Amino acid sequence: MSVTVPKGFRAAGIAVGLKSTGKPDLALVVNDGPVHVVAAVFTSNRAQANPILWSRKAAEDRSARAIILNSGGANCFTGDFGYETTRLTAQAVAERLDLVADDVLVCSTGLIGTGDQRFRDRIVGGVPELVARLAADDAAAAAAILTTDSVEKTATYEGEGWSIGAMAKGAGMLAPGLATMLVVITTDAVLDAETADRALRRATAASFDRLDSDGCMSTNDQVTLLASGASGVAPEEDAFADALAGVCDRLAAQLQADAEGASHDIDIEVRGALSVEDAVEVGRSVARNNLFKAAIFGNDPNWGRVLAAIGTTEAVFDPYAVDVWFNGVRLCHAGAPDRPVEECDLSPRRTRVLIELFAGEATATIRTNDLTHDYVHENSAYSS
Amino acid sequence: MSVTVPKGFRAAGIAVGLKSTGKPDLALVVNDGPVHVVAAVFTSNRAQANPILWSRKAAEDRSARAIILNSGGANCFTGDFGYETTRLTAQAVAERLDLVADDVLVCSTGLIGTGDQRFRDRIVGGVPELVARLAADDAAAAAAILTTDSVEKTATYEGEGWSIGAMAKGAGMLAPGLATMLVVITTDAVLDAETADRALRRATAASFDRLDSDGCMSTNDQVTLLASGASGVAPEEDAFADALAGVCDRLAAQLQADAEGASHDIDIEVRGALSVEDAVEVGRSVARNNLFKAAIFGNDPNWGRVLAAIGTTEAVFDPYAVDVWFNGVRLCHAGAPDRPVEECDLSPRRTRVLIELFAGEATATIRTNDLTHDYVHENSAYSS
């Protein structure tokens, strides 16, 4: 159970043949109200899929009653035909639920360039069955949005009389910018649209935006928060925002743990930065350094590659006064080697790199993964 | 023969035990004049090795008589001790050649953090033999600067009575920013320091600066041009600059062809950009996209990953009006799939990606490589 934990939501997931495996590939989440608040953040990639273009417009009035999601095709760079497919998909859902098309958001994930007539027919043709299956049980919905993911990603939170539910997918092209992957979050808390929007932006900035598995930003990322108000309880804004941040953080950790081909989950904590922006820039420069990532795969605590990476940033610090720790062992201090690398054990999957800049008080943690043979294999044609 | 092709230069290379293989690891190039012009560009990484700090200062007066280079240790992040090692190295060469230390530039390459007492003793202790071996034959010098390189990289140019010679190393951490790798270029043309500097900056900007094999900028990159004036011939500035640009371009191609673990040399040509800067930004965004690079390894012409990459840039263009060609086949046109991917053969090592932005007249080509199992293997601890 995930998005149907809060009151006022139904969901469903079915297989319509978009995935060659025959697994579920079409999901629907419906907000039965009494209110229909939506807040959403989208990929900041300028190359945006048709469902992003549609959902951005449909969410402008901050109201949405349903969201339909498919795997098995990104419907990105599929031209006017692809945009019409998205519109027809929303239209089909709206007709069955007695709504207008603008009440329905659409998300797609899969191969860019996929979205032909067969793709359209399967989705639009599947809507009647999908709507018929709607229930307060969403197990099939969480499965239907997966692509190369190996496990479902869900998180819930129980407040005082209200709750949050969420489902996510994402295993590759995992470097969100102001948005991420496909995530649907539901709540039965009583929220106005502004509160929902503020809380969602704060939560995503500190969670998905600091996940950088492979440096590759998707064209289809979308995080959607739907609020039904069905609990009748209006939590304090801070309480709701903190709870939402916690849910997003747990989903981000699940995405990191299931990243394509990874053998290490690496948390890069940057301390002593002059600003959070500096801390994020420094952490991200390491997360995107292939030499660093390959070294971690080989259980090699190669601190020199950390310093070479952070030296390319504009952040305020003295490169010769930085401390670098790997899994609790300080390997570099004051511009020179410190403890012997042999003291550092990188065999566990969980890896912690700490970079102390001595430039201020700000801190941030970037989550990434190592660069492995399996990553190369899964993302080369050999795997498809 | 490379750097000793021009008149007025001697070189040598010997093994002093910095490399565990016993191969040559210490090289020296001496400019016997009559003039001793130097121009140099250095890594723009803020994390800079001790030899970079030294050489930058020593080249400030635009005069240098010798350059000593070692492989087997980067002498970067080795503290004050490491800087003193560099100074003692220059001093040892100066004493044997009756110069002052500031006449001697120093370059180092190898593992960051390497530069202890043994490292110092071997280099400084090797200088007498190195000087004794100086000759107008530089084969050992070109070998002595290699690390993971599999072949020597040299290039020469014969002008009307004057010539250029050059040697280079570089196989990993290959993404120069305003400089690159270790490169020594010699010429016997009569040049003033300003002309040499202008020509070198123009040549490196269009060659090494557009090589981005793995997105990882080194701490030790240095390109040095030494001019002896020994030919007595003063070429036109444009003739010299064009010749130098050609030499740098051929070296950049050799570096690309020998990149660690690569199975494809990928030239990403960006056309129709509003500015050269835009073209470079667009090309580099693709060159640094791991998903694109893994797809090429698998001979998969995944044009969607090209569009997802360029969509993250600030360059001026409409993502839905871009053409993308792989090896002469137009796979994307006007925001939709064009020719079938089956028409595209990516089995040859040489790979050409053409991106037509339709935004202006500027063009640039970025050279990169694919992301392979061998790259991961060579850069993980398994290989060391």
Percentage of the residues of chain B whose pLDDT score is greater than 70: 97
Q: What pLDDT sits at residue A179?
A: 41
Distance from CA of A37 to the nearest CA of B (A): 30
Strand partners, A182: A169, A222
- Given a cut of 70, whether residue A121 has pLDDT beyond it is yes
Confidence of residue A245 (pLDDT cuts 50, 70, 90): very high
- Given a cut of 70, whether residue A204 has pLDDT beyond it is yes
Confidence of residue B172 (pLDDT cuts 50, 70, 90): low
A147 is in an annotated binding site: yes
Distance from CA of A31 to the nearest CA of B (A): 32
Contacts of B384 in chain A (CB under 8 A): 300
Q: How far apart are CA A7 and CA A228, in angstroms?
A: 7
Least confident of B211-215, B263-267, B330-334: B211-215
Contacts of A218 in chain B (CB under 8 A): 308
Q: How far apart are CA B106 and CA B182, in angstroms?
A: 11
The DSSP secondary structure of A188-219, one letter per residue, reads -S---HHHHHHHHHHHHHTTGGGB-SSS---S
A180 is in an annotated binding site: yes
Distance from CA of B290 to the nearest CA of A (A): 7
Given the residues B148, B180, B368, B372, select the one marked as catalytic. B180
Tell which residue, B12, B294, B8, has the closest CA to residue A260: B294
Segment B318-324 mean pLDDT: 94
Confidence of residue A208 (pLDDT cuts 50, 70, 90): confident
A260 is in an annotated binding site: yes
Q: What pLDDT sits at residue A177?
A: 53
Q: Is the CB of A112 less than 8 angstroms away from the CB of B300? A: no
Q: How far apart are CA A64 and CA A62, in angstroms?
A: 7
A263 is in an annotated binding site: no
Facing residue for A304 by CB, picked from B77, B172, B372: B77
Segment A314-333 mean pLDDT: 95
Testing the interface with A: which of B111, B213, B216, B282 to mutate, by most A Cβ within 10 A? B216
Residue-wise pLDDT tens digits, B239-298: 999 999 999 998 889 888 888 889 999 999 999 999 999 999 999 999 999 999 999 999
Q: Which two tokens stand for residue B121?
A: 């003793």
Mean pLDDT of chain B: 91
Residue-wise pLDDT tens digits, A133-192: 999 888 899 999 888 788 888 989 999 999 999 998 887 666 655 444 788 999 999 999
Q: What is the ipTM of this complex?
A: 0.83
Q: What pLDDT sits at residue B176?
A: 59
Cα atoms found within 13 Å of the Cα of residue A13, Cβ hemisphere only: 25
Contacts of B111 in chain A (CB under 8 A): 304
CB pairs under 8 A between A and B: 196
Q: What pLDDT sits at residue A270?
A: 97
Q: Is B98 exposed, middle or buried (0-12, 13-18, 19+ CB in 10 A)?
A: exposed
Given the residues A156, A180, A204, A219, select the one marked as catalytic. A180
Q: Which residues contact A147 (CB under 8 A, 6 or more apart)?
A: A71, A72, A109, A110, A169, A171, A172
Q: Which two tokens stand for residue B323?
A: 């053409």
The question of whether B187 is a catalytic residue gets the answer no
Testing the interface with A: which of B112, B331, B382 to mutate, by most A Cβ within 10 A? B112
Percentage of the residues of chain B whose pLDDT score is greater than 90: 70
Q: Is the CB of A112 less than 8 angstroms away from the CB of B307? A: yes
Q: What is the DSSP letter of A182?
A: E
Q: Is the CB of B319 less than 8 angstroms away from the CB of A371? A: no
- Residue B255, H or E segment: helix B237-257
Strand partners, A265: A350, A369
Domains and CATH numbers, chain B: 9-257 (3.60.70.12), 265-383 (3.10.20.340)
Q: How far apart are CA B179 and CA B7, in angstroms?
A: 26
Q: Is the CB of A298 less than 8 angstroms away from the CB of B371? A: no
Q: Is the CB of A81 less than 8 angstroms away from the CB of B336? A: yes
Q: Is the CB of B216 less than 8 angstroms away from the CB of A290? A: yes
Distance from CA of A370 to the nearest CA of B (A): 10
B378 is in an annotated binding site: no
Q: Is the CB of B311 less than 8 angstroms away from the CB of A382? A: no
Distance from CA of B17 to the nearest CA of A (A): 21
Contacts of A375 in chain B (CB under 8 A): 290, 294, 376
Contacts of B294 in chain A (CB under 8 A): 375-376, 379-380
What is the gyration radius of the CA atoms in chain B, in angstroms? 22
- Given a cut of 90, whether residue A379 has pLDDT beyond it is no
Facing residue for B47 by CB, picked from A47, A302, A311: A311
Q: Is the CB of B335 less than 8 angstroms away from the CB of A77? A: yes
Q: What pLDDT sits at residue A209?
A: 85
The DSSP secondary structure of B63-100, one letter per residue, reads B-SEEEEE-SB---S-HHHHHHHHHHHHHHHHHHHT--
- Given a cut of 60, whether residue B43 has pLDDT beyond it is yes
Contacts of B380 in chain A (CB under 8 A): 294-295, 297-298, 300
Q: What pLDDT sits at residue A182?
A: 87
Confidence of residue A212 (pLDDT cuts 50, 70, 90): confident
Least confident of A204-208, B183-187, B211-215, B261-265: B211-215
- Given a cut of 80, whether residue B384 has pLDDT beyond it is no
Q: What pLDDT sits at residue B179?
A: 41
Q: What pLDDT sits at residue B178?
A: 42
Contacts of B320 in chain A (CB under 8 A): 77
Residue-wise pLDDT tens digits, B123-138: 999 999 999 999 988 8
Q: Is the CB of A381 less than 8 angstroms away from the CB of B311? A: no
Mean pLDDT of chain A: 91
Q: Is the CB of A290 less than 8 angstroms away from the CB of B371? A: yes
Segment B160-179 mean pLDDT: 76
Contacts of A48 in chain B (CB under 8 A): 311, 319
The DSSP secondary structure of A243-273, one letter per residue, reads HHHHHHHHHHHHHHHT-TT-S-EEEEEEEEE
- Residue B241, H or E segment: helix B237-257
Q: Which residues contact B60 (CB under 8 A, 6 or more apart)?
A: none
Q: Is the CB of A382 less than 8 angstroms away from the CB of B298? A: yes
Facing residue for B379 by CB, picked from A295, A312, A337: A295
- Given a cut of 70, whether residue B112 has pLDDT beyond it is yes
Distance from CA of A246 to the nearest CA of B (A): 28
